Amino acid sequence: MPPVKHYSSSEVNQYELSSRLLSLTENNTSYTLTQINGQRIYRKAPHAWSGPEPSRNCEVFIGRIPHDCFEDTLVPLFRQAGELFEFRLMINFSGWNRGYAFAMYTNDVEASNAIRMFNNYMIRPSWQLGVCPSINNCRIFISRIPPTTPSAEIVRLLYALTDEVQEVRIRRSTASCAAIVEYKSHRGAAMARKALVAAAAAAWGCGARPAVDWSLPQSPQLLKQYREVGRWSAERGVELSRAPEEAGAWSPPPAAPSYTLEPWSQARRLRMIHEAQRSAAHAPHVGYNRISNMESLVASMSGLSGLGGEGGVWAPPTGLGAGGPRAPPSPDFNPWTSRHPLQEFKEFIAHAKDQ
């Protein structure tokens, strides 16, 4: 592999950089080098390429690039994976790169080679590149929109402020409003993001401070939350519609029927059971009158809880009682397999009788 050149910010000379970049096109006239809209594009010349432009599957994203590393180092490096159709390095206003670039190859096999060869490649000591497939993100996310703004007004403003809008999706709640705007191309979305950062606050007014950023391109579940869809055309104006619910959408399972006692009644039942157990432990020779009192206690507790039944069989509360209306029995309730809440205490009494 060719030696990697790197320079500290104090050593980089812009005139020297220009001469190094010029040598790229002089040594290979099949490519052109142009700078536009914050990116420098090294691309196949029209006379050197015939046919359609390679698909998006042929492009890779290159991240974690040192800010003083430029095309004279990166292009020869990534040429080793295959023939480059285009190499785009993002540049800031000072002339340094912004830490990432895009390399498009003539076919997807060469793009896969680039990922295999240069992902985690040590371009400098302790400095690894990150290379992965490029994602054609055409969506912008706008949050903190004033919730009182009508949906039609949001759609109208976005179409007026930006070009290549394909659709606007809106999500509302009681105190917030957000939108995802989809554009026809990644370039259209990038230009729109730059325009909206400067114009959105002034457009909505009323002290609004909307936040504008890229949306997550690989999140279809997130997009489903934005159910209000808006479009605009000169002939029809603003058209709003509601995204249909999906048939297979997940919904929480229904709550299982519960026949437990109310908290206050359940606590009282447990306290009375513990008192009876302590009394039985202190007086194992309990007489018949004591047993009769304990049976009366069971009956009174059954009345308090609204639960009846004999033996080990019980039924859920039905009809009207002293505590007001009660829930009707569930069709899934089976009295022959459901254990009575007081059965444990009844078994204790039966055991005391046997003694």
CATH (residue range 14-133): 3.30.70.330
Residue whose C-alpha is closest to residue 147's, from 170, 168, 166 = 170
**pLDDT tens digits along 231-269:** 988 888 888 888 776 554 444 444 444 334 444 455 555
Q: Find, among 260, 256, 270, 255, the residue nearest to 316 by Cα.
A: 260
Q: Is the pTM of this model over 0.75?
A: no
β pairing state of 130-133 and 59-63: antiparallel
| Cβ–Cβ under 8 Å, residues 41 and 34 | yes
C-alpha–C-alpha distance, residues 335 and 338, integer Å? 5
Q: What is the pLDDT of residue 293?
A: 53
List, as one string, the DSSP characters of 266-294. HHHHHHHHHHHHHHHHH-TT--HHHHHHH
* Three-class SS state of 249: coil
Q: Check if the beta carbon of residue 68 is closer than 8 Å to that of residue 6.
A: yes
- pLDDT for 95-142, tens place per residue? 788 889 999 999 999 999 999 999 999 999 989 999 988 887 888 898
Q: 14-133 and 139-242 share one CATH topology?
A: yes
- Map out the domains of the chain as residue ranges: 14-133, 139-242, 263-317+333-354
Identity of residue 53 = E
User: Which CATH homologous superfamily contains domain 139-242?
Assistant: RRM (RNA recognition motif) domain (3.30.70.330)
Q: And the tokens for 93?
A: 């206003």
Can you tell me the distance from the alpha carbon of 260 to that of 264, in angstroms, rounded to the nearest whole number?
Answer: 11
9: helix, strand or coil: coil
User: What DSSP letter does each residue of 34-47 carry, written as one string?
Assistant: EEETTEEEEEE-GG
pLDDT of residue 319: 45
Task: Answer whether 342's CB lies under 8 Å from 307's CB.
Answer: yes
Tokens of 106: 């003539």
Q: Model confidence at 77, in pLDDT bands (50, 70, 90)?
A: very high
Q: What share of the chain has pLDDT > 70, as a percent?
A: 62
Going by DSSP bridges, is the β-strand pair 130-133/122-124 parallel, antiparallel, or unpaired? unpaired
Q: Mean pLDDT over residues 46-73, rounded?
A: 89
Which CB contacts under 8 angstroms, 24+ apart, belong to 252-257?
257/316, 257/327, 257/330, 257/332, 257/333
The beta-strand segments (E) located in 173-293 are 177-183, 211-214, 228-233, 237-242
Select from 141, 4, 37, 30 the least CA-distant residue to 86.
30
